[in-house]
Each structure stands twice: as C-alpha cells, then as structure tokens.
Amino acid sequence: MEHTGGVTGEGYSLLADGLEDAFIGYFQRVGKPKVAVYDYEKCLKVLIDRDGMGLSEADEYLQFNTVGAWVGEGTPAFMYKTDIDSFSDLCDSESE
C-alpha cells in the first residue's frame, strides 16, 4: 500500500499498489479520511491478465494480501457489486 500525497490533520488514504485499473473512486465519512475504493471484480481481472493467475488463485491472493490487510483508517475498500436483497441476506447471515 502507498500513501496518497501525505498525512493531513484528518489522516491519510492509502492506494493498493498495482491495482490502478481497478480504482473506481473514494468514499468519505464524517471526521474520517477519504478512502480509496476498488472494484473487486476489476482487481481480479488485473491479477488474471497481468500476472497470469487463475480465478481462484487471484481471489485467494486478494483476500489474503489486499482485502485482508488492515493498515489503519486509510486502508482501501473493495466494492462488490450486488443488489440490496443479496446484501441484506449477507448481513443477516453474518450476524447469526
């Protein structure tokens, strides 16, 4: 992960090295630093196309080395496209 431009009074944001083609924007919460957002499917495509990984290898790599890497408030977020019902079901299953 690399810092964007530097530390401010409110914190800093990090970028995921090598995944520029999967960057889709940022999100912001009140009183927190802006956080870089990446499209998870595009991240997979980068690893498959650039590094020659298979789908399961790319998924395992991202889950362990990128999505699972917490490095503070500026840690990038990874967006999974879904609909509201599927999201609700996922949230319900995680709370059980």
3-41 residue pLDDT tens: 444 444 456 788 999 999 999 999 998 988 899 999 999
- pLDDT value at position 59? 97
The single-letter DSSP state of residue 80 is: -
Of 90, 57, 66, nearest to 16 (Cα)?
66
Question: Model's pTM, two decimal places?
Answer: 0.82
Strand partners, 52: none
pLDDT of residue 61 exceeding 90, the answer is yes
- pLDDT value at position 7? 42
If you average pLDDT over every residue of the chain, what do you get? 88
- What is the distance between the alpha carbons of residues 3 and 48, in angstroms, rounded to a whole number? 25
Mean pLDDT along residues 38-64: 97
Q: 42: which 2 tokens?
A: 């595009």
- What is the distance between the alpha carbons of residues 72 and 90, in angstroms, rounded to a whole number? 25
- pLDDT value at position 6? 44
- pLDDT value at position 11? 65
